[in-house]
Amino acid sequence: MAWYAFRRHTAYPVSALAEALSNVAFGFIRAYILIALWRVRPSLGGYDVTDAVTFCFLTQALIGPVQIFGGMELSERIRSGAVAVDLHRPVDLQGWWLADDLARAAATLLLRAGPPLLAGALLFPLRTPGPGLLAAFLLSTLLAVLVGFGLRYLGALAVFWVHDDRGLNAVQLVLSMFFSGMIVPLVIFPGALGEVARALPWAALVQVPADVFLGKRTGADLAAALGFQAAWAAALLLAGRALTAAARRKLVIHGG
């Protein structure tokens, strides 16, 4: 299943490259803005200017894999009723879509993560992690994808109850953009807002993998960071299971 999904998601490399170009352009704009801020406050939030720029291009590279803008094909299938076919399959609904999403994430990581990092590295000095840190980062990214899937799966299942997912999508978009660190890194959020933001699941999407990449979390702290992501992933996936069961009871399919 995952292999077929992977082939499907890599079928349009030109389109993916176009997306990556757009990620690059936004990366440069955001990088210049962050540099301007770090010129005034050189060690803000424990980052130096190289960390901030690396963070910026890293987050642009992660947009695709963790699908920060939200959305899932499943919600359209629920709306149209095609989900009935999915429920008939002799596999678990959540497992089926998780396999699809992991393949999608792997495909976008391959096609879309490279260009922003390469383009950023051409113009600015970026931090490069050692092999150990890189392995930790990849593990952290995998957990981020699981958290992203957990959040979006819950949003998609809500369509069983609300029918129109556009409003819900907008709420999800705002929360994930703001609290993941995509707008500005969570390290510069002031006071209590920062504390709250760093404890929410969206922090696991972008901020935590970036911190791991930058070497801000090492030793026991690294384990804590990965544990934080794993805990949210587990909680969201379990919530997804419960909601799937509830949706199964609710759904009535009119045959014909």
Partner 1 sequence: MLRTYLLLVWTWTRAAAQYPVSLVLLGLATAVVGALDLAGIALLYANAPRIAGFTVAEVVFLYGTATTSFGLADLALGTTERLGRHIREGSLDAMLVRPVSPLVQIATEDFSPRRLGKLVPALGALALSLPALEVSWTPGRVAMVPAMIVTGAVLFGGLWVLTAAVQFVLIDVHAATKSVTYGGAFLTQYPMTVFARDFVRGVTFVIPLAFVNWQPTLYVLDRPDPLGLPAALRFAAPVAAAAVCAAAALAWRTGLRHYRSTGS
Binding site for partner 1 (CB under 8 A): 12, 14-15, 17-19, 21-22, 24-26, 28-29, 32-33, 35-37, 39-41, 44, 164, 166-167, 170-171, 173-174, 177-178, 183-184, 188-190
Amino acid at position 126, single letter:
L
Q: Is 132 exposed, middle or buried (0-12, 13-18, 19+ CB in 10 A)?
A: exposed
Q: In the complex with partner 1, which residue's Cβ is closer, 29 or 199?
A: 29
Q: To the nearest whole angstrom, how small is the minimum distance from the Cβ of residue 28 to partner 1?
A: 8
**CA angle at 223 for the pair 222 and 227, rounded to the nearest 5°:** 120
Q: In the complex with partner 1, which residue's Cβ is closer, 96 or 178?
A: 178
Q: In the complex with partner 1, which residue's Cβ is closer, 29 or 87?
A: 29
Residues 6+ apart with CB under 8 A from 122: none
Q: To the nearest whole angstrom, how small is the minimum distance from the Cβ of residue 204 to partner 1?
A: 20
Specify whether the CB–CB gap between 194 and 180 falls below 8 A. Answer: no
Q: In the complex with partner 1, which residue's Cβ is closer, 169 or 229?
A: 169
Nearest residue to 199 via CA among 229, 169, 167: 229
Q: To the nearest whole angstrom, how small is the minimum distance from the Cβ of residue 30 to partner 1?
A: 8
Nearest residue to 54 via CA among 166, 234, 181: 181
Q: To the nearest whole angstrom, how small is the minimum distance from the Cβ of residue 86 to partner 1?
A: 25
